[in-house]
Structure 1
Amino acid sequence: MTGQLGDAWRHCIGAGRFELALRRDYQDSLALLQREIGFRHIRQHGLFSAGAGVHRPYEYGGERRVLHSFTYVDQVVDMYLELGIRPFVELGFMPPGLASGDQTVFWWRGNVTPPSDRAEWAALVRGTVAHLVDRYGLDEVRGWPIEVWNEPDLKDFWQHADQDAYHDLYEVTAHAVKDVDAGLQVGGPALSPGADDGWLPRFAEFVAARGVPIDFVSRHAYTSGPAQHVPFGVHQTLAPAATLLEQFAAPGRQLAGTALEGLPVHITEFNSSYRPDNPVHDTAFHAAYLAPVVAAAGDLVDSFSYWTFCDVFEEAGVPAALFHGGFGLLTHRQIRKPTFHLYAFLARMGGEVLARADDHLVTRDGTGRVTVLAWAAGQGSDGHRVRLSVPVGSPAVTAYVARSSVSEEAGNAWAAWREMGSPRSPGARQLDALREASEPARRHWSAPVVDGRAELDLSLAVHEVTLVEVTAVRDETPPWWDDTRLLGGPA
């Protein structure tokens, strides 16, 4: 199979609620992420929640008035742009001063009720988007997708999971966005994996009948079963990873024949477990489990956003230990998890797909360097073998082969932490040891090139994810060099 790998996998990454971006640990983690991987957009909840301080009602002259304050918004977005990442704007949750009820979600209490005043909500959306355009420029903000709410099909995230009320919210919000500029991207409905098959078609029917603007469709994907609670954590069964790909494909299938058929589809959250306290997120198993998904999903959707980039995240409360099953690719203090390396490996691959199979992906970049991403995703104790013949594409006699791997034994800081006795607050020496343990295993060798191809025989341990880079050798060894004389001796 040939074609282009594309960048759907790096289009967006998830993050903790908006004001957490003001913290040093969050910013240091994002800087590391951007250096080693480089995502295009970042999405998070809580832009309009109390902690971001945008909606500020007050009284003056005996009248209710509202100040739109962007003190924190500007600091966060400025930081994002400095790091080369742009917002994927989620409009939510409801500001306390505009809420019609007191139902909240998460430890930090995001309000999930409709607005008490439709016009005031529209003014909030219009004022926020206009401020972003004024500060960052219309051409810039036209590239930021704007998503209306989060999982309105769930009672926890939208009062009564009232679809008609969500349609009303979407309509007023989409028009408010387009009032600022018709070229801005607006969409939704950010459905949960559990949304019934009729939710999205009904939404499509509504926006078509009412002529409501929509530029993209969004939903979420997770594979975990009900939470089996233990103190400060959960365990869950997982469906096969291919279930994620089935969920990614669902919007296209459900919208076939509707007015929204063919619109871009963004998976604005995905992971195995939907819980931020499930230890599976920290493991080598997790990287191997998701490898076939991130390698293939770009053929199904326009983007799929891993939830989340780091463990600076407090939906279930302040984490009680360094490793606590958080969603992040990084723990607090920037310790890389195995799934971080899955993404970092992908970032080093070329854009041209040469081959794809159930256990590997082969690409080539513009210099002719060939890269192989391979994985052993089974849960058994046996290893796995991948044999490949890759084109070197030059008259070289040899190729330089470099291999980086994470597995149960390598690049697995969680395993090292468990061996330390699971210290809740590791000291400086322990943190250094964990960072060292998080590094992939690396090796290199010279491979002969025969008829323009190099042979690879890769043995993978259980739950291993490996990246192999193959580069043609241009031999510049001087003619007088003799390896046999390294320690002196006759010519």
Structure 2
Amino acid sequence: MMRSNTTAKIGIAMLCLLFSGISYAQQLQKRTISINVNSVKGNKSTVFNECIGAGRANEGLRADWQQQLAMLQKDVNFKYIRFHGLLHDDMRVYTEDKKTGEPIYNWQYIDRLYDFLLSIKIRPFVEFGFMPADLASGTKTIFWWKGNVTKPKSYDRWNALITNLVQHWKERYGEEEVSKWYFEVWNEPDLKGFFDGTQEDYFELYANTVKSVKSVSAAYRVGGPATSATKWVADFLTYCDKNKVPVDFVSTHDYGTTSVLDEFGTKKQQLKSVRDTIAKDVKTVRNLINQSAFKAAELHFTEWNTSPSSRDPIHDTYQNAAYILHVLKKASSDANSMSYWTFTDIFEEAGPGQTPFHGGFGLINLQDIKKPSYYAYQFLNQLGGTELKNMDESSYACKSKDGLQFLVWDYTHPHKNYSYNQDYFNTAQPAVAKNLVQLRASAVANGSYALEVYKVGYQQNDPYTLYLEMGKPTQITKAQEAKLKQAAAGKATVKQTVKVVNGKFNYDVQLNENEIVFMTLKKIR
């Protein structure tokens, strides 16, 4: 019912405009994107697919997790993946003999996981954590799966664990391969929920871990502080400079809401009103690095998203996809990677998701249904490797051997009846028309081209809206699952042959609020 009513309202609005003698397109704000095929900006940024997040290591042993990641790799081709819990007891990495108290190392689960990752051409962005129970100084834990967040009871034993594990990787995968990995120390130690210690305690943990990794190879890259909301970075760099502790990269996290930790998804989340908050934070951290003794250090935002809650409905929406493109375009010049948290809803910090769409972080839901955000990443990857100069801040124009590609979007902050994400995004949000995008390309080779247009927006590759129309069923039938997958199939809305004459390609397309349009122009003769 909602679908037909919305269509009717739009149709009535168009008829009213036509009877008044004014076309519907004339009422839209014109947005002209002018590019010259010979005017090159440079190589397309790869910040978007350098790294992707996942929940915890043990989830990576699941068949469905591995199948989803393999699918994503074909469409986006991420270079690294980062997750928690590598040293957690469910990976059985470290135990102590009950009689002698001697350490017992077991790398078998890690080997199975890392072998799979490398087989699909994605490398580990290693996060050292959390603490094995037998090595822990306390019993404090976080999450449904109870990751231990205390310091080691013995730095001699912690250092031996790290050294032996890294040495094992060197022997199994080779010096050349492991030298391409990143080694990050802990996760969000500034938050008591994640690290039951002080800043000084974390710095001690970092210094010991760096020493252990580099005792295997000085070439291996180690960094931190992996903090929430870009905290501790200046103090971290000062400490490392003063104490001659290496820093190969700086890592930190950022989310688009005022909250930084929502362990069980119970908090009300609200987007920050500043549109470019994450991009500004990225630039601030880059400037801190540039002003430090570690100017050559890379910058990796090893977590970011609209919200830090794994029960926030914004993650399922088409608006989330537009937000992703907005952030990545703005932040790309200052970061080496922006690791979206996470690729899948197979994610159990608050326990398994209880409904097909439950606000999980993932680009893919539990039933392998691609969310709108999935296509934001797929479209970025399908852009050609050469970016063209373009004054429009919410678009890309690229070229490849096959032809031209254009990615255009609108990001509009919720502006009507918006309070909290959990309230606003729990109901369908029809989009209003925003722009008439006028694409004007010059110096295009004359000839015939295959034009394809793809859209992501309200009711376009938008399974969540359809799920809401179904009444938000707690469980879905096979028929409903098939219908949702069909709604997210990523099919072109336009497929036609066009001719380029006098080197000019002109194309107009209506763009609604928080909509994405991806176009490919491939020469056929």
TM over 0.5: yes
- Indicate the residue corresponding to 2:458 in structure 1: 408
Distance of 2:409 and 2:190 partners within structure 1: 35
Shift of 1:355: 3.2
Shift of 1:256: 3.2
User: Contact between 1:252 and 1:261, CA under 8 Å: does it hold in 2?
Assistant: no
Change in 2 beyond 3 A, CA 1:409/1:355: farther
1:163-185: CA deviation from partner (whole Å, max 9, x where unpaired) = 11111000000000000111111
Distance of 1:352 and 1:186 partners within structure 2: 31
- Indicate the residue corresponding to 1:353 in structure 2: 387
Distance of 2:103 and 2:270 partners within structure 1: 47
- Indicate the residue corresponding to 1:221 in structure 2: 254
User: Contact between 1:25 and 1:333, CA under 8 Å: does it hold in 2?
Assistant: no
- Indicate the residue corresponding to 1:97 in structure 2: 134
Shift of 1:79: 0.9
2:44 is equivalent to residue 11 of structure 1: no
Change in 2 beyond 3 A, CA 1:33/1:285: same
Larger displacement relative to structure 2 (146-155 or 234-243): 234-243
Name the amino acid aligned to 2:221. Q
1:84-114: CA deviation from partner (whole Å, max 9, x where unpaired) = 1110000011111111112111111111111
Distance of 2:308 and 2:151 partners within structure 1: 24
Distance of 1:143 and 1:426 partners within structure 2: 43
Within a 5 Å distance, the mapping from 1:108-257 to structure 2 comes to: 108-160=145-197, 162-193=198-229, 195=231, 199-226=232-259, 235-239=268-272, 240-257=274-291
Distance of 1:208 and 1:244 partners within structure 2: 27
- Indicate the residue corresponding to 1:470 in structure 2: 521
User: Contact between 2:444 and 2:500, CA under 8 Å: does it hold in 1?
Assistant: no
2:295 is equivalent to residue 261 of structure 1: yes
Name the amino acid aligned to 2:160. A
- Indicate the residue corresponding to 1:485 in structure 2: none
Shift of 1:470: 1.3
Unaligned regions of 5+ residues in structure 2, if any?
Answer: 1-39, 416-431
- Indicate the residue corresponding to 1:337 in structure 2: 371
Name the amino acid aligned to 2:248. D
User: Contact between 1:28 and 1:334, CA under 8 Å: does it hold in 2?
Assistant: no
Distance of 1:324 and 1:116 partners within structure 2: 38
User: Contact between 1:227 and 1:234, CA under 8 Å: does it hold in 2?
Assistant: no
Give the match's secondary structure for 1:426.
coil
- Indicate the residue corresponding to 1:326 in structure 2: 360
- Indicate the residue corresponding to 1:107 in structure 2: 144
2:489 is equivalent to residue 439 of structure 1: yes
Unaligned regions of 5+ residues in structure 1, if any?
Answer: 475-491
User: Contact between 1:241 and 1:290, CA under 8 Å: does it hold in 2?
Assistant: no
Identity of aligned residues (%): 34
Q: Of residues 398, 404, 427 in structure 2, which corresponds to 1:370? A: 404
1:130-156: CA deviation from partner (whole Å, max 9, x where unpaired) = 111111111111111000011111111
Change in 2 beyond 3 A, CA 1:232/1:178: closer
1:454-475: CA deviation from partner (whole Å, max 9, x where unpaired) = 012121123211110112330x
Name the amino acid aligned to 1:400. A
Shift of 1:385: 2.3
Distance of 1:374 and 1:334 partners within structure 2: 26
Distance of 1:270 and 1:135 partners within structure 2: 32
Q: Which has the higher contact order (CA 8 A, sep 6+)?
A: 2
User: Contact between 2:225 and 2:252, CA under 8 Å: does it hold in 1?
Assistant: yes
Name the amino acid aligned to 2:468. R
Q: Of residues 279, 287, 305 in structure 1, which corresponds to 2:339? A: 305
- Indicate the residue corresponding to 1:482 in structure 2: none
Shift of 1:249: 1.6
Shift of 1:360: 1.2
Computed over aligned residues only, the root mean square deviation of the Cα atoms, in angstroms, reads: 1.9
Larger displacement relative to structure 2 (428-437 or 351-360): 351-360
Distance of 1:17 and 1:122 partners within structure 2: 22
1:56-101: CA deviation from partner (whole Å, max 9, x where unpaired) = 11144xx310111011101111111111111000001111111111
Give the match's secondary structure for 2:71.
helix
